[in-house]
Homo-oligomer: A and B are copies of this chain.
Amino acid sequence: MAELSIIYVGKKPTMNYVLAIVTQFNNNVEQITIKARGKSISKAVDIAEITKHKFIKELKYQSIKLDTEVMEGERGQSNVSSIEILLTR
Measured as residues with beta carbon below 8 angstroms from the partner, the interface class of chain A is: 20 to 34
The 8 Å CB contact of A42, one of B39, B61, B64, is: B39
**Chain B residues whose CB sits within 8 angstroms of the CB of A78 once the complex forms:** none
> How far apart are the CA atoms of A66 and B65 in the complex, in Å?
12
**Chain B residues whose CB sits within 8 angstroms of the CB of A42 once the complex forms:** 38-42, 81
User: Are A46 and B81 closer than 8 Å at their CB atoms?
Assistant: yes
Interface assignment of A32: CB less than 8 Å from any CB of chain B: no
A33-52 contacts to B (CB < 8 Å):
38-42, 45-46, 48-49
> How far apart are the CA atoms of A44 and B43 in the complex, in Å?
13
> How far apart are the CA atoms of A53 and B81 in the complex, in Å?
11
A residues near B (Cβ < 8 Å) are 38-42, 45-46, 48-49, 53, 61, 64, 66-68, 79, 81-83, 85
